[in-house]
Amino acid sequence: MSRKFLDSEILVSTKGMSKEEWLKHRQSGIGGSDASAVAGINPWKTAVQVYIDKKQEEVKEVKSFRMELGNRLEGFVAELFTEETGLKVRNVNGILANEKYPFAFANIDRAIVGEKAFLECKTTNSYAAKDWENGIPAHYEIQCLHYMAVTGATHCYIAALIGNQEFKWYKLERDQETIDYLMKIEKDFWENNVLKDEIPVPDGSYAYSEYLKEKYPSSIKEEIDITNFIKNAKDKLNRYDEIVADIKALDNEKKTIEQEIQAEMKDCEVAKIGDRKATWKSQSRSSIDSKKLKSELPDLAAQYMKTSNFRKFSIK
């Protein structure tokens, strides 16, 4: 008989599971941390990054001190939550799934004992304090609603340690209307993008540009007419021209303000402007005079010459 947590089934135990195995399992569906990216409201991740993560053959583990610290502090945040609320929590140690949503899975931080609910633990730096002033940040709320969809929980709690200075917790009730809409978005993304190998539409992100660079690294000397493949192509190119002109005008305005401040600073390194400060510090940087090196020691210069191949894009 399979193990269950509320309305979900525990597909596989994560106790003792290696990071590599866990990452491979993550490719089999959309997880809570993917949900807000797919919905387009994640401040750090886009739908195309989720698509790439799900489609890559070799799973890449992203390591950072911040992530490691968050993992280690998860238990501490859970303890603080229990101390403040009196609610007991327990580990589930499993990847959860629900047959109603075969494209989704969940990894909750803790289950709430005696309630049809779970706890999500967060750690963040002090710069993010303002994000928590008016309640749960939207991308974390979407993550919790995703977990509610999978688990069938009626509510959940989210606890956050902010900048090692402040501890907050909130209760979030189940919102079935939003859950239904979220599951519709995730289902569409999974079936029409991931399963059909169709990358999401361009979104202006750095990740999308990197994807295109890797997929089409070099050009061939051929010309193609794509007018009919881009909706409102003429209007978009006109808008492109407007944006380029606006960027030039804004950059000139920015430089003009900088020059006005610098003209008043003269030799001073720091200038006060109301409650703000401007700095104009002397710095030095050493670099190789490549022109002189090529002229005087051409053979040596050739040995250390590095050629980079890339494609330059322009619109005329």
Report for 50-59, 60-69, 104-113, 278-287: range of highest mean pLDDT: 104-113
- What's the mean pLDDT in 162-188? 96
Q: How many other C-beta atoms are found inside a 10 Å radius of the C-beta of residue 199?
A: 16
- What's the mean pLDDT in 123-137? 89
The stretches of the chain forming alpha helices (DSSP H) are: 19-26, 32-38, 47-55, 65-85, 138-151, 176-189, 206-215, 233-265, 290-296, 298-303
Closest CA to 271 of 280, 259, 284: 280
Reported for 44-49, long-range contacts at CB under 8 A and 24+ positions apart, including other chains, are 46/203, 46/205, 46/207, 46/208, 47/189, 47/193, 47/200, 47/203, 48/199, 48/200, 48/203, 48/205, 48/207, 48/208, 48/211, 49/205, 49/207
The pLDDT of residue 2 is 64
- What's the mean pLDDT in 10-14? 90
Sequence-separated (6 or more) residues with CB below 8 Å from residue 264: 271
Rounded to 5 degrees, what angle do the CA atoms 9, 11, 15 make?
115
- What is the percent of the chain where pLDDT is above 90? 75
Q: Average pLDDT over the chain, rounded to whole?
A: 93
Query: Is the CB of residue 219 less than 8 Å from the CB of residue 311?
Result: yes
Span 263-289, pLDDT tens digits: 999 999 999 999 999 999 999 989 888
Q: Which pair of tokens denotes residue 188?
A: 């569409």
Sign of CA dihedral 190, 193, 197, 202: negative
Span 22-51, pLDDT tens digits: 888 889 999 999 999 999 999 999 999 999
The pLDDT of residue 125 is 86
- What's the mean pLDDT in 61-65? 71
- What's the mean pLDDT in 284-305? 88
Closest CA to 150 of 92, 102, 91: 102
Confidence of residue 17 (pLDDT cuts 50, 70, 90): confident
**117 has a pLDDT exceeding 70:** yes
The pLDDT of residue 56 is 87
Confidence of residue 61 (pLDDT cuts 50, 70, 90): low
**1 has a pLDDT exceeding 60:** no
Query: Which of 67-76, 96-105, 153-162 has the least mean pLDDT?
Result: 67-76
**195 has a pLDDT exceeding 80:** yes
The residue that leads in pLDDT, 180 or 14, is 180
Span 197-220, pLDDT tens digits: 999 999 999 999 999 999 999 999
Closest CA to 26 of 3, 42, 49, 6: 49
The pLDDT of residue 236 is 94
- What's the mean pLDDT in 307-314? 88
Confidence of residue 193 (pLDDT cuts 50, 70, 90): very high
- What's the mean pLDDT in 4-23? 89
Domains of the chain: 4-194 (3.90.320.10), 226-279 (no CATH)
Sign of CA dihedral 107, 108, 109, 112: negative
